[in-house]
Amino acid sequence: MGSGEATLFNWKAKYGGMDVSDAKRLKALEDENAKLKKLLADQMLEAAALKELLSKNVWSASSVQGYATS
């Protein structure tokens, strides 16, 4: 198959003793976990961007007061 001995050893260590249905379920859970990690990373990036924006004090008290009286 062209796989190295180390690859086969790692595969056997991970999937050895599992049924096909167990291996499929594991793969599905790994895929779901990867999607959730990506969503979390996106949310953390968005939160960091919002914090950065707010730290620049875009809506300072003087600009809000000036807007409210206009």
Reported confidence tier of residue 10, pLDDT bands at 50, 70, 90: confident
Q: State how far the Cα of 44 lies from the Cα of 65, in Å rounded to an integer.
A: 32
Backbone angles phi, psi at 35, to 5 degrees: -65, -45
Reported confidence tier of residue 48, pLDDT bands at 50, 70, 90: very high
Output the average pLDDT for the chain: 84
- Of 3-7, 44-48, 59-63, the range with the lowest mean pLDDT is 59-63
- Res 59 pLDDT > 70: no
Reported confidence tier of residue 42, pLDDT bands at 50, 70, 90: very high
CA-based end-to-end distance of the chain? 76
Which is more confidently placed, 37 or 16? 37
> Is 18:26 a contact under the CB 8 Å cutoff?
yes
